Amino acid sequence: MTRIALDAMGGDHAPMEIVRGARDAAHELGVHIILVGDQEKIQRELDGDAAGGLISIVHAPEVVEMDEHPVNAIRKKKNSSIVVATQLVKEGTADAVVSAGSTGAQMASSLFILGRIAGVDRPAISTLLPTARGVVALLDVGANVDCRPQHLKQFAVMGSLYAEKVLGLPNPRVGLLNIGAEETKGNELTLAAYQLLKEAEINFVGNVEGRDLFLGTSDVAICDGFVGNVVLKSAEGLAMSILGMFQQELGRLEDILGRERIMHIMSGFKRRMDYAEYGGAPLLGVDGVSVISHGSSRARAIKNAVRVAKETVEQRLVPAIKASLEKEIGKGVDN
C-alpha cells in the first residue's frame, strides 16, 4: 500500500482541513497516510477516527511559517513538519510527501533532503490551467526565474512524462510558450530552446502563443519561471475579475432567477475553474515524490493532492524521468 507523508501543519486551513482531507483520502483512495506535525493538535482533529489504522502520526513540533526565508528556515528548523515529512521519504518510511505549506520551504527541503535527479539542473514547479478542452500543464511557474535553453529542455522532458504518467495523456503535445507561432519568433531564450526541443524525445508541437494556452492547443506548455509565474497569477487575477463582473450581471436578474439559482450557477461556474479538482502537482526533477498543494487547500484539494502523489508513485514518474534524462548527460555542453 502506498504511504503518503502529509504535512499536517502546512496551509491556510491547517491542521483541520488537512486532517479531514487525510481521512477522506485514506477511506477513498486506499493509501496509508502519515500525518506529520504537532501530535496533540492532530489527535484532537482526528478525534479517535484513524480510518481503521490507515492513518498514523509522526510528531514534528516545529512549523515553517509562510513569511520565513525558505532555506534558512529548513536549516534551522530540523523538527519542522515539512523537513520531518521529507525525511520520511528519504529514509523509505513514506513513498511521497504532500504539503500545502510554504512552496519555497518544500522546494528547499526536497532539494536538500531528496536531492536532484542526475541530468536535472533545476527542478520545476508545474501547475494545471483549465482550458476549453481540459487542462494544460504549465511549467516552470516560479522555481527558476532566469533560465537557459537547456533548462527549458529538461522541463519539457519532465513535463511530458508527468502528463503521460500522472495525467494519463498518451503522447502528450508539448508546446513552447512564445510570442509567435513561427520558429523564428521569440527572445534569445526561446529561440535557442526551440532548437533543443525539436531534438528532444517528446511530441514537440512548436510554439504556443498566450492565446492558445487556454484553448488547449497543447497538453504541456514550457516557459521560464518568471514568465510562468506572471502568466499564472495574471490568469488568476483576470478570472477573479471576470467572475466578479459575471456575478454583478447575474445579480441584476435576481428578481427573475431567484437567489438560490444564481448561487447554484456561480458555484458550477467556479468549479470549472477550480484548482481543488487537481489538488496539486509534483515538484519535477527531485529524486523522490514531493507534491505541492495550493496554500488555500481545503479537505477536497488535500485529498486530490494525495491522489496525485499516489499516481506519481504508482506510475513510477521519478524512475521514468531518471531514465530519460540519464541519456542526456554528457550529450552536449551546458548552453
Binding positions for a copy of itself, rule: CB under 8 A: 130-132, 142, 145-146, 177-179, 186-188, 190, 209-215, 223-227, 229-246, 249, 253, 256-257, 265, 268-269, 272-273
Q: How far is the CB of 184 from a copy of itself (least distance, A)?
A: 10
Nearer to a copy of itself, 87 or 144 (CB): 144
Main-chain dihedrals φ then ψ at residue 180, nearest 5 degrees = -170, 160
Q: How far is the CB of 179 from a copy of itself (least distance, A)?
A: 4
Residue type, 266: M
Q: How far is the CB of 16 from a copy of itself (least distance, A)?
A: 26
How far from 148 is each of 63, 82, 143, 154, 180, CA to CA, in Å? 34, 30, 13, 10, 20
Main-chain dihedrals φ then ψ at residue 145, nearest 5 degrees = -85, -20
Q: How far is the CB of 6 from a copy of itself (least distance, A)?
A: 27
Q: How far is the CB of 280 from a copy of itself (least distance, A)?
A: 20
Structure-derived torsion over alpha carbons of residues 248, 250, 251, 252, reported in degrees to the nearest 10:
100
Could you say which DSSP state residue 295 is in? T
Strand ranges (E), the chain: 3-7, 32-37, 55-59, 96-99, 126-130, 135-139, 173-178, 203-209, 220-222, 280-282, 289-293
Q: How far is the CB of 219 from a copy of itself (least distance, A)?
A: 16
Nearer to a copy of itself, 232 or 320 (CB): 232
Nearer to a copy of itself, 21 or 175 (CB): 175
User: Can you tell me the distance from the alpha carbon of 134 to that of 116, in angstroms, rounded to the nearest whole number?
Assistant: 31
Residue type, 250: L
Nearer to a copy of itself, 119 or 175 (CB): 175
Nearer to a copy of itself, 98 or 155 (CB): 155
Nearer to a copy of itself, 18 or 137 (CB): 137
User: Can you tell me the distance from the alpha carbon of 127 to that of 154, in angstroms, rounded to the nearest whole number?
Assistant: 16
